[in-house]
Chains A and B, each alone.
Chain A
Amino acid sequence: MWFKFTLALWAAKLSVPVLKLTRHNGTNFPGELAMKICPSFLRYIDKPARILAVTGTNGKTTVTNLLCDALTAAGHKVLSNRAGSNMYPGVATALLTGTSLLNRCHSDVAVLEIDERSSRLIFPHLTPEIMVVTNLFRDSIMRNAHPQYIADFLTRYIPKETRLVLNADDLISSAVAPDNDRVYFGIERMTTDITECVNRLNDMRICPKCAGPLTYDYLRYHHIGRVRCRECGFESPAYDYAGADASLEAMSVTVRDKSGAGTYRLISDSVFDIYNLVAAVAMLREFGMTHEEIGRCLSETRVVGTRHTDEEVNGVHVINQMAKGLNALACSRVFDYIASRPGEKEILLLMNCLSDERHWSENVCWLYDADFEFLADPRIHVIATGPRGKDYLLRLKLAGIQDGQIDYARDEFEAAEKLYLRPGSSVYLLYGADDSLDLAFKVRQKVLALAKEAKR
């Protein structure tokens, strides 16, 4: 086995400069190669003394980036898969690139983003010291079925020794691995909170103990909020790390715990990112950093550019915004966010799942779990396009969006020509997690050119 492992390590490490020379860096090939030669590669590779892991449906990449940035700024040598995939080959690639040919790891901390379903393959070989589960929502119907399935999956495979940092405002993810040591984070009542769900998706409608009806003390979106069961008294866990006084005006949130508090600058104006920030702070506190250190180290962090890019041309804001296709909840959050922005808005729906289209036909059921109803606003103009454009068109109409506010063109570049591009308006190009990224940035160039040419 040791011979196979060494051969795998050397071959995989050799492939890294070769890939760089051929401009294929950033792929997971080294990890895939290593695993092909030695299937137990992850078990034998030397690892940093401390391993932090991040999993959950949404926010994994943002929290991973926050942790990496903060720990690097604090002087740690950090190893991460942030540039690669969050599945087994991506984790293997990250670990081998931080390790010498003699299998000596150069880093003192690893921050690993881990796909929920990949936990089955990764955790037998690697035990995180601390792991955050950001949340569990509906995701791809094909891969993830429903959030309770993923919660059960994590419960089965998370190592018993791992200390968990869990979202108390999410009753699904906060219940994973009940025998593990744990702390909870959450956000105290906000002025924008409600008590009745307005979303199509709410996967926590009944008490997990007695199946009785749940009452929300406050609710943010979907099943995120604080709940009580009227029948058996069950309630959400108390916060160990409480986000308090969250203010989108002041762009700050205070995180309180039993030994102190710190006030942090928000990384964006979405509630989703407040959760991501509080989750990262809770992780760093568990890691051993003080609020002062964390605040200093996080002070320059921004949301990564591929997720949200804004440029103004001729008074038109052209914004590329990730809205993970096949993921009704992620799209609903983006629709809600766009609807809440002031002024006129135009939206190009580019999140067709292009890789699915190459292999089969995208399963469009998720469209009917997503809250397109948020877009039924006279200040919003929506353009459906791409292989599933006709499905989007029908869905938009069923969501109550009036004829004058909808356009359709099968070709994405032709669809861009249907934009009004009025000064003062914002144009959102919504794209999926990876496969429509290139297309979205090409269409963006066209939109920017059209905005430059637009008559004023």
Chain B
Amino acid sequence: MTIELLYPEVCNLYGDLMNVEYLARSSGAEVVRTGLRDTPRFTTEDVALVYMGSVTERGQELVRDALAPHLEALKKRTDAGGVTLVTGNALEIFGEYIELDGGERLPMLGFLPIHSTRRLLGRYNAMYLGLYGDLKIVGFKSQFGHSWGDVGEGLFTTLRGAGLNPDVKPEGVRIGNFMATYLIGPLTVLNPLFAKELLRLMGVEDPKLLFEEEALDAYRARLEDFSDPKRNFTY
């Protein structure tokens, strides 16, 4: 089983890379690192998971340019049920455009029916509590903008915090098994039950996580913390 990590030389912010490490170490999957000058492995081979993490603003443009020639392959892969996970502001790369501070529109890949904003003096920091099916999801957001568009139910349903933008409940985007969320960092470590669901989607039968008990213990403590109505949710 192979996990493809896209563009780790730039998509590596906020501890996001631990998602791949945790899933790989829990499943024995091989990790393939695809750089900006490489042809993605998913274009020629079946990979169990394609992952892309948070990135700098300049990096968003580099990634857009690197991935643009492979968009058809990504569509084909998604139509065939291939699993992709995108975290943090990497989500915005798949939208139609990013509106910058001055109103200028920076074109993006147009793979998702969303557009985003970037406000460099208005960083949004918040905790997140939501649902993936029946599973409670906990996480963190730290981003320069939000996104808008018709994303149906999204990836998660927001219980506390902002959805794709502060006015909507759907958080992230899901098309088939292509999943994108604004949540940053080690999402799979913070949410061991979600990590197991992801591994099942990747074809792992009866998945077991590395240090599962400790991960569940930390998850339960955070879930209790985030569910406390007296807890502030924004930074």
Instruction: Assess A394 versus B9: contact at CB under 8 Å? Given A141-B184, A149-B56, A361-B231.
Output: no
**Which residues of chain A (361-420) have a CB below 8 Å from chain B?**
361, 363-369, 390-391, 393-394, 397-398
Chain A CB within 8 A of B127 CB: yes
B232 pairs with A360, CB closer than 8 A: yes
Query: Given the complex of chains A and B, what is the CA–CA distance between A212 and B215 in angstroms?
Result: 38
Chain B residues with CB below 8 A from A106, complex form: none
Instruction: Assess A394 versus B189: contact at CB under 8 Å? Given A206-B10, A211-B62.
Output: yes
Stretch in B14-22, B42-50, B74-82, B151-159 touching the partner: B14-22
Instruction: Assess A398 versus B184: contact at CB under 8 Å? Given A361-B226, A363-B125.
Output: no
How far in angstroms is the closest Cβ of chain B from A350?
18
A205 pairs with B10, CB closer than 8 A: yes
How far in angstroms is the closest Cβ of chain B from A110?
27
Which label, helix, strand, loop or mixed, suits the secondary structure of the B interface?
Answer: mixed
A390 pairs with B184, CB closer than 8 A: no
Query: Given the complex of chains A and B, what is the CA–CA distance between A141 and B62 in angstroms?
Result: 22
Chain A CB within 8 A of B73 CB: no
Chain A residues with CB below 8 A from B120, complex form: 149
Stretch in B90-98, B106-114, B162-170, B217-225 touching the partner: B217-225
Partner of B218 from A149, A205, A394 at Cβ < 8 Å: A394
Partner of B221 from A146, A148, A390 at Cβ < 8 Å: A390
A394 pairs with B215, CB closer than 8 A: yes
B189 pairs with A368, CB closer than 8 A: yes
CB closest chain-A residue, reference B186: A368
For B13, B15, B125, B211, the residue with the greatest tally of chain A CB atoms inside 10 Å of its CB is B15
Chain A CB within 8 A of B201 CB: no
Chain A CB within 8 A of B39 CB: no
Chain A residues with CB below 8 A from B144, complex form: 145
Q: How many residues on chain B are close to A (CB under 8 Å)?
A: 43
Chain A CB within 8 A of B57 CB: yes
**Which residues of chain B (26-72) have a CB below 8 Å from chain A?**
35-37, 56-58, 62
CB closest chain-B residue, reference A365: B185
CB closest chain-A residue, reference B185: A365
Which label, helix, strand, loop or mixed, suits the secondary structure of the A interface?
Answer: helix
A206 pairs with B214, CB closer than 8 A: no
CB closest chain-A residue, reference B144: A145
How far in angstroms is the closest Cβ of chain B from A456?
35
How far in angstroms is the closest Cβ of chain B from A176?
15
Chain B CB within 8 A of A250 CB: no
Chain B residues with CB below 8 A from A369, complex form: 14-15
Chain A CB within 8 A of B175 CB: no
Chain A residues with CB below 8 A from B123, complex form: 142-143, 145
How far in angstroms is the closest Cβ of chain B from A88?
15
Chain B CB within 8 A of A359 CB: yes
CB closest chain-B residue, reference A120: B121
Partner of B14 from A148, A361, A365 at Cβ < 8 Å: A365
How far in angstroms is the closest Cβ of chain B from A87?
16
Instruction: Assess A145 versus B142: contact at CB under 8 Å? Given A368-B15, A368-B18.
Output: yes
For A146, A149, A205, A359, the residue with the greatest tally of chain B CB atoms inside 10 Å of its CB is A146
B140 pairs with A363, CB closer than 8 A: yes
Chain A CB within 8 A of B233 CB: yes
Chain A residues with CB below 8 A from B210, complex form: 398
Query: Given the complex of chains A and B, what is the CA–CA distance between A328 and B186 in angstroms?
Result: 14
Chain A residues with CB below 8 A from B186, complex form: 365, 367-368
How far in angstroms is the closest Cβ of chain A from B56?
5
How far in angstroms is the closest Cβ of chain A from B33?
11
Chain B residues with CB below 8 A from A364, complex form: 140, 185, 190
Chain B residues with CB below 8 A from A211, complex form: 36, 62
Query: Given the complex of chains A and B, what is the CA–CA distance between A359 and B231 in angstroms?
Result: 7
B15 pairs with A365, CB closer than 8 A: yes
Chain B residues with CB below 8 A from A397, complex form: 211, 214
A393 pairs with B185, CB closer than 8 A: no
B13 pairs with A398, CB closer than 8 A: no
Query: Given the complex of chains A and B, what is the CA–CA distance between A146 and B184 in angstroms?
Result: 13
Instruction: Assess A142 versus B189: contact at CB under 8 Å? Given A206-B9, A206-B10.
Output: no
CB closest chain-B residue, reference A356: B235
B233 pairs with A360, CB closer than 8 A: yes
Query: Given the complex of chains A and B, what is the CA–CA distance between A211 and B123 in angstroms?
Result: 26
Residues of A with Cβ closer than 8 Å to B? 138, 141-143, 145-146, 148-149, 200, 205-206, 211-213, 328, 359-361, 363-369, 390-391, 393-394, 397-398
**Top 3 closest A-B pairs, CB basis?**
A368-B15, A365-B185, A368-B18
